[in-house]
Amino acid sequence: MKALASACMLLATLATAPAWALDKPKGEPVLTITGAISETNDGGNAVFDMPMLEALAGRTASMETPWTEGKVEFSGPFLREILKAAGAKGTNLKVKALNDYAADVPTEDAEIDTILATKMNGKPMPVREKGPLMLVYPFDQDKGLYNEKYFGRSVWQIKEIEVLP
Amino acid sequence: MTLGFSPDGSFLKAAGKKTVVLQCIAVVFTCILLLLFTDLARRYRLLEDGIRENALWSVYQLDREARGLSFQLKDIVRDVGLDPKKVKALGLRYDILYSRLTVLRESRFDDAFEKDNSIRKSLDAVQGRIMAYAPLFDRIAGGYQPTDAELLKLNQDVETLVRQTGDFLTDANNQFSATRADNRDMIIRLEGTTALFLSLLLASIVVLVVNLRRQLRVVREAGRNFELMAEELSTAYKAADAGNRAKSQFMATMSHEIRTPLNAILGTAELLELSELPRDASALVRTIHSSGEALLEIINEILDYSKIENGKLELELRGVNLKAFSKSTLEIVRGRAEEHGNRIVLDIPDELMVPYVRTDPTRMRQVLLNLLSNAVKFTRNGTVTLRLREFIRNDVLMVRFEVQDTGIGIDETGIAKLFQPFTQVDASISRKYGGTGLGLTICKEIVDKLEGEMGVRSELGAGSTFWLEIPTKIADVVTDSPGAAQAQVPQTAIAAGEILLVEDNVVNQQVATRFLERLGQKVTIANNGLEAVAIARRQAFDLILMDMQMPEMDGIQATRRIRAEVPDVAPIIAMTANASDDDRAACMEAGMVGFESKPITLKRLRHVLETHMKVADGAAKAAEARRVVALEAPAEPEESEGFSEARRDELVEALGEDVFNELVETFFEDAAEIMDNLQHALGGEDAILIDRLLHTLKGAAINVGLNDVAEIANSMRVSKPTIAGVEILNERINAHRRLLAA
């Protein structure tokens, strides 16, 4: 009786769990998630290449930012989808850039439509133009975000996100 | 009264002006403050513009990336071989540096940063240098391995770049610091100005509030003062009014007081004249009579005036035969005119347009008599003319009377004073001619009341013409009564007749009987209404005198019954101590033709007999006679307290001492019985019985001159009678009894 119940619970858990095996990146890795994550594909880390990121749910949005001239169209996966894919369990993120610049971002910022932009105006972003990844807050949706607090968290040339428990 | 503020309100005006000025100042300060605040806010927004990227941070990043590139380059140059990984890392460094440059070029920074010339120059220099490396790095990205020489040259160049970016950073920082300091200074300055104006505004508001409070206090004080003033004024007015009323009342009372003994004097003189006297005694009696009448006239004038002052002058409009009226009026002064050797002329058209008009003949006659007697008084051996004309003005029939004399005349200043009360043309007039000076004032009031006009034309020494014009209407029936002319009409002997006296009180019965017998009448007595009806049914009378309040059946009811049951009945005259207009109306309505107030005097009884017995002769005249409105009765009952000597004298004169004493004795017997009944009735609370007893007592007391007893009885009728009240009444009666017995 007890065994049957346990089996049922196990089945239920299996049915609701997402695809858990994070595939190894086929192309050049662009993003590494480290820290408190459950899904890994490279030692203790989760590594993504562009196609993997672009396969995640995301959005395309036009907005003005302090660093660009006029309206610019950004597109890319939601931050929350990336964190989910890596099985992140933390309250804070340390978002690191190629030049070792890092900003602390609370995970609740991932609950809004924050994306990790992979394309600007439909084109991939080279390092010279703040690529390859840039954290873009939904300034178009919420004007309240348009201040230095979120400017500081808008990291470009992202290479790594460390999930802090 | 002292007032706590200047009566012209100059303080209030000044305070008001001050308030307006202060309000203006406060408004100006507020506007300035608003402007300052707007300015401050605008500047602050500029300073703290949240949507601008931090320029200094970007410059620092640029400098940092330049150093990063330099460091990487040095690492490669130091190595002997060329490590492709390091070259790739170098490429990445360059890309990052390039992106920082882009940020500086494209980001939106402060105007102060973007528009500063030295910053722009530094940025241009740095950009030129970095852009120059682009071809090489493009090639490296394409897989090209740079030569040592290329790397060394680049290293040298990047060192210069690092110096430049370092200077750029310092410049930018200096520029930022300066801007921040300037802004801070400006804000501090603005804050200072704002604080200054704020304190000024506060000060002006404080002054404004203080001023307003002061104003409010003054206004409140003024209001209180006005209230006090109004109160005092109203008290003063009431006092003045009360004084005036008291004066009028006093005048009325005094006139009555004088009139009563005067009536006795005149009555006595009349009686004396009728008796046979020696020639000189007869002349003396005539003098007494005429003097008495003159005095009566004066007193009547004063009474009239006080009535007019109290607004009690009332008109009784009747149809008047103008010709007969004028003739009879002129007849009255004929005697006096002849005494002064004056000729009397009546100037009246042969055919009057309207011979009968509607007016108040008594008052008209009063006015004309006054004017005529003045004319006669002030004319010696001349002519006095009474002229009558009729004319139409604005569709209204006007009657114009003129009294013209050839006497002493009046000058202009005299004319101005003519119609003022208590004035005469000059003081010597009153010494020479006498008079109260009220006559013309009364005339004017009466003419005003009749809605007419009055005036005078006069010339000193040539005589005066007084005129009056009164609007009237055509009368259909003439009901002119003898009225005021009666006194002067030569007395005719009254035909002996049968009189029915209906009266429940023994004293009153006796007095009236004596008077009537003295006037040659035969009297039958009925003790109440029922008896009166029974007697009237079986016996014919020439006149019925009817008391109003009686046991069994009252006067009104008895009158109705008699008039209903007895054909061709004699005129019925009411006799009562209640002299209100309502009572009169009730009497008239029941079919009575006259109304006499108690106490009844010999003279009035004679008048009543003269008036009604004559009319009663012709049955044809009876109907007309019933239309005659009530004869004038004394306006108010006598109000003197205690025992009226005048009444006693009158009774003694008319009835003799013995009869009077008998009467008084009867009264006291009656009174004792009434008081007994009253005490019983009080126990039984029979309000109607109590009232009747008091009424009877009042009538009887007035009849024998016990005015105070009558007064108390009457007041007890008005308020609820009490045992204590009855005691007081009893005491008064006993006091009189003792006094009269003594």
User: Do A130 and B99 make contact, defined as CB atoms within 8 angstroms?
Assistant: yes
**Residues in A touching B65 (Cβ below 8 Å):** 99
B53, B68, B95: residue with CB nearest A67: B53
- With bands split at pLDDT 50, 70 and 90, how would you rate the model's confidence at B645? confident
Instruction: Report the pLDDT value the prediction gives residue B635, as an integer from 0 to 100.
Output: 36
Backbone angles phi, psi at B413, to 5 degrees: -65, -35
- Interface touch A99/B53, C-beta < 8 Å: no
Among candidates B92, B103, B108 on the partner chain, residue whose Cβ is nearest the Cβ of A127: B92
Instruction: Report whether pLDDT(B51) > 80.
Output: no
Tokens of B636: 């108010």
**Report for A66-70, B381-385, B406-410: range of highest mean pLDDT:** B381-385
Q: Which pLDDT value is given to residue B218?
A: 87
Lowest mean pLDDT among B22-31, B449-458, B526-535, B613-622: B613-622
Answer yes or no: is pLDDT of B615 > 50: no
CA quadruple B169, B175, B177, B183: dihedral sign:
negative
What pLDDT does residue B52 have?
58
* Residues A146, B53: C-beta atoms closer than 8 Å: no
- Predicted pLDDT at B143: 81
pLDDT of residue B102: 85
| pLDDT tens figures, B344-353 | 889 888 888 8
Cβ atoms within 10 A of the Cβ of B265, count?
18
The number of helices, as runs of H, and strands, as runs of E, in chain A is 4, 11
**Predicted confidence (pLDDT) per residue in B216-272, tens digit:** 898 899 999 999 999 999 999 999 888 877 877 777 777 777 777 777 777 777 777
pLDDT at residue A115 in the model: 92
Q: How confident is the model at residue B429 (pLDDT cuts 50, 70, 90)?
A: low
What's residue B337's pLDDT?
A: 85
User: For residue B426, what pLDDT is reported?
Assistant: 59
Cβ of B95 within 8 Å of Cβ of A156? The answer is: no
Q: Confirm or reject contact between A69 and chain B (CB < 8 A).
A: yes
Among A63-67, A159-163, B142-146, B479-483, name the most confident range.
A159-163
Q: Name the residue with tokens 């595939």.
A: A23
pLDDT tens track for A19-58: 445 788 888 889 999 998 888 888 888 999 898 888 899 9
Q: Tell me, yes or no, if the pTM score tops 0.90.
A: no
The pLDDT mean for chain B works out to 79
Residue pLDDT, tens place only, B320-342: 888 888 888 888 888 888 888 88
- The pLDDT assigned to B463 comes to 86
DSSP H/E element including B558: helix B555-565
Q: Which residue does chain B place closest to A145, by CA atoms? A: B51
| CA B146/CA B144 separation, integer angstroms | 6
> B15-28: per-residue pLDDT in tens?
778 778 888 888 88
- How many A/B residue pairs have CB atoms within 8 Å? 45
A99, A129, A130: residue with CB nearest B68: A99
**CA-only gyration radius of chain B, Å:** 59
- The residue type of B237 is Y
Q: How many CB atoms lie within 10 A of CB B109?
A: 21
Cβ distance of B50 and A148 shorter than 8 Å: yes
In sequence order, what are the residues at sequence separation of 6 or more whose Cβ sits closer than 8 angstroms to the Cβ of residue B511? B599, B600, B651, B655, B663, B703, B704
The 3-state DSSP class for residue A78 equals strand
Q: Is B691 on the interface with A (CB under 8 A)?
A: no
Check CB contact under 8 Å for B54 and A126: no
Query: Chain B contact for A121, CB < 8 A?
Result: no
Window from B2-16, B440-454, B627-641 with minimum mean pLDDT: B627-641
A130 in reach of chain B (CB within 8 A): yes
Please check the confidence at residue B145 and state whether its pLDDT lies above 90. Answer: no
What local confidence, expressed as pLDDT, does residue B228 receive?
A: 94
**pLDDT of A27:** 85
pLDDT at B483 over 50: no
Question: Side by side, which strands form the sheet with A29-35?
Answer: A46-49, A29-35, A158-164, A92-97, A102-106
Please name the residues in contact with B106: beta carbons below 8 A apart, sequence gap of 6 or more.
Answer: A67, A68, A69
How is residue B335 written in tokens?
A: 């005697």
C-alpha B688 chain-centroid distance: 40
Tell me the residues of chain B between 129 and 158 that have a Cβ less than 8 Å away from chain A: none
Q: Which of B262-276, B279-293, B471-485 ranks highest by mean pLDDT? A: B279-293
Are the C-beta atoms of residues B99 and B149 closer than 8 Å to each other? no
Q: How far apart are CA B316 and CA B366, in angstroms?
A: 13
Residues of chain B neighbouring A134 (CB-CB closer than 8 A): none
Residue B716 has pLDDT above 70, yes or no: yes
First-to-final CA distance of chain A: 38
Q: Are strands B396-405 and A102-106 parallel, antiparallel or unpaired?
A: unpaired
Mutate to test the interface with A, among B51, B58, B133 (most CBs of A within 10 A): B51
Q: Distance between CA B603 and CA B368 in Å, rounded?
A: 25
Interface touch A67/B68, C-beta < 8 Å = no
Give yes or no for B51 touching A (CB within 8 A): yes
Most distant pair of Cα atoms in chain A: their distance: 68
Query: Which chain B residue has its CA at the smallest distance from A129's CA?
Result: B99
pLDDT-wise least confident of A104-108, B391-395, B602-606: B602-606
* Contact between A126 and B95 using a beta-carbon 8 Å cutoff: yes
A68 close to B (CB below 8 A): yes
Specify the pLDDT at position B434: 55
Q: Which two tokens stand for residue B303?
A: 């009474």
Chain B residue at shortest CA distance from A98: B96
pLDDT of residue B480: 44
Q: Which residue of A has its CA nearest to B69?
A: A99
Q: Which residues of B touch A120 (CB under 8 A)?
A: none
10 Å CB burial of residue B334 (0-12, 13-18, 19+) is middle
CATH superfamily, with its number, for domain A29-164: Oxidoreductase, molybdopterin-binding domain (3.90.420.10)
**Per-residue pLDDT for A12 more than 70?**
no
CB contacts, 8 Å: B53 with chain A: 66-67, 151
Contacts of A127 in chain B (CB under 8 A): 92, 95-96, 98-99
> B572-575 long-range CB contacts below 8 Å, 24 or more apart?
B572/B544, B572/B546, B573/B543, B573/B544, B573/B545, B573/B546, B573/B608, B573/B612, B574/B546, B574/B548, B575/B503, B575/B512, B575/B545, B575/B546, B575/B547, B575/B548, B575/B600
CA neighbours closer than 13 Å in the CB half-sphere of residue B232: 9
How would residue B41 be classed by pLDDT, with cut points 50, 70 and 90?
Answer: confident
Contact A151 B53 (CB under 8 A): yes
Nearest CB to A66 within list B53, B98, B99: B53
Contact at CB, B96 and A148, closer than 8 angstroms: no
With bands split at pLDDT 50, 70 and 90, how would you rate the model's confidence at A135? very high
Residue B65 near chain A (CB below 8 Å) = yes
Give the domains, in start order, of chain B with CATH numbers: 55-206 (1.20.120.520), 243-307 (1.10.287.130), 319-480 (3.30.565.10), 498-626 (3.40.50.2300), 645-741 (1.20.120.160)
- A106 pLDDT band (50/70/90 cuts)? very high
Q: Chain B 399-438, CB below 8 Å of chain A: which residues?
A: none
Ranges assigned E (strand) in B479-636: 498-502, 522-526, 543-547, 572-576, 594-597
Q: Residues of B with CB below 8 A from A103's CB?
A: none
In angstroms, the separation between the Cα of residue A95 and the nearest Cα of chain B is 17
Gap between the Cα atoms of B363 and B314, Å rounded: 9
A71-84 confidence digits (pLDDT tens): 899 999 999 999 98
Identify the helix (H) or strand (E) that includes residue B601. Answer: none
Whether B67 has its CB under 8 Å from any CB of chain A: the answer is no
Structure tokens at A52: 């993997």
Contact yes or no for A157 and B51 at CB 8 A: no
Please list every residue in chain B whose beta carbon sits closer than 8 Å to the beta carbon of residue A159. Answer: none
Average pLDDT score over residue span B525-545:
87
**Mean pLDDT of the region B41-52:** 65
B97 pLDDT above the threshold of 70: yes
Using a CB-CB cut-off of 8 Å, the residues of chain B touching A156 are 99
How confident is the model at residue B265, as a pLDDT?
Answer: 79
Interface test with B, best of A63, A64, A67 (most B CBs within 10 A): A67
Alpha helix ranges (H) inside B418-498:
427-433, 439-449
What are the φ and ψ backbone dihedral angles of A157, each rounded to 5 degrees? 50, 45
Residue B388: which pLDDT band, with cuts at 50, 70 and 90?
very high
User: Over the stretch A48-57, which tens digit does the pLDDT of each residue have?
Assistant: 989 888 889 9
Task: Determine, for residues A157 and B68 on separate chains, whether the beta-carbon distance falls below 8 Å.
Answer: no
| Residue B411: pLDDT over 90 | no
CA distances from B500 to A12, B109, B600 (A): 137, 133, 15
pLDDT in tens, B581-610: 677 778 888 888 888 776 677 777 888 888
Indicate if the alpha-carbon torsion angle B299, B302, B304, B310 is positive or negative.
Answer: negative
Identify the pLDDT of residue B640: 39
